[in-house]
Amino acid sequence: MLNSWVVMPTCLPVVLRRCHTCGSERFGANGKFRVNAHHKLLDAWLLVLCASCGDTAKLTVLERANVRSVRPELLDRMHDNDPRLAAELLQDPGLRRRNRVALDWDGAWRLDTGGSDHLSGETVDVSVRFAARIPVRPVRLIAEGFGLSRAEVERLIAEGGLVSADRLRGRLSGDFAFMLKR
C-alpha cells in the first residue's frame, strides 16, 4: 500500500538579508506590495520588515517594465496585496538572486502524513510530495513521519532497511519516494 505524505507551508518563510539600520539578518514578508508608475513604465516591490527594528526593505519584482507587458491579473494581485502572490514570488530563484536574499523555512512548514495507519505492516511505501519548494532533509521528514529519532533513521539507511531511488542524505525540495522494510 502506497502512503502519501505532503510537506506543506504554514506561513511565509523568513527572508535572510542584512538590515541597513540595525544589522539584523532576518526580515518577515507580510504580503504587502508597492507599485509605482513612471508614465508607461512600472516598478513593483515586495515589502519586507526587519524582525529587530521594523525597518522596511524592498525586494524588486518589476523594474521599469512596460505597462502593456505586465499581465493585468498580476497587477491586480499586487494592488490587492495578495499573500499567495508573495509566497509564489519568494519561491522564484530569479527574484531571490536579483535581490541577493535567501529563505529560512524553519518553523514555516508541516508534514501531513494522512494518519497513523502507515505504521503497520512489514513493508511501507511512502511517496512524499512538496506543496512548495521547501528544502528539508529527508532523514528529518522520515523521523518525524514515523516517530523515530534521526539516528534510528540513519541506522536504517546504513543497514538497507530504508531504500529510495533518491538521495536521502542532504536536502531535497522536490518529490521523492522511499520504502521502509521492517
Give residue 121's pLDDT: 64
Residue 57's pLDDT is 95
Q: Give the whole-number percent of the chain exceeding pLDDT 90.
A: 74
Beta partners for 50?
A: 27
Mean pLDDT of 49-66: 95
Can you say whether residue 67 is alpha, beta or left, with left for phi > 0 and alpha for psi between -120 and 50 degrees? alpha
pTM of the model: 0.78
Report the distance separating Cα 143 and Cα 153, nearest Å.
Answer: 6
- The stretch 154-178 carries a mean pLDDT of 90
Q: For residues 93-102, give the mean pLDDT.
A: 95
Q: Report the 10 Å Cβ neighbour count for 135.
A: 13
Q: What per-residue confidence (pLDDT) applies to 168?
A: 87
Amino acid 100: pLDDT: 95
pLDDT of residue 169: 85
Ranking 47-51, 79-83, 110-114 by mean pLDDT, the lowest is 110-114
Per residue in 112-136, pLDDT (tens digit) is: 988 755 556 678 889 999 998 899 9
Decide: helix, strand or coil at residue 77: helix
Angle at which helices 72-79 and 83-91 cross, to 10°: 120
pLDDT of residue 170 exceeding 80: yes
* CA-wise closest residue to 29 among 77, 74, 85, 73: 85
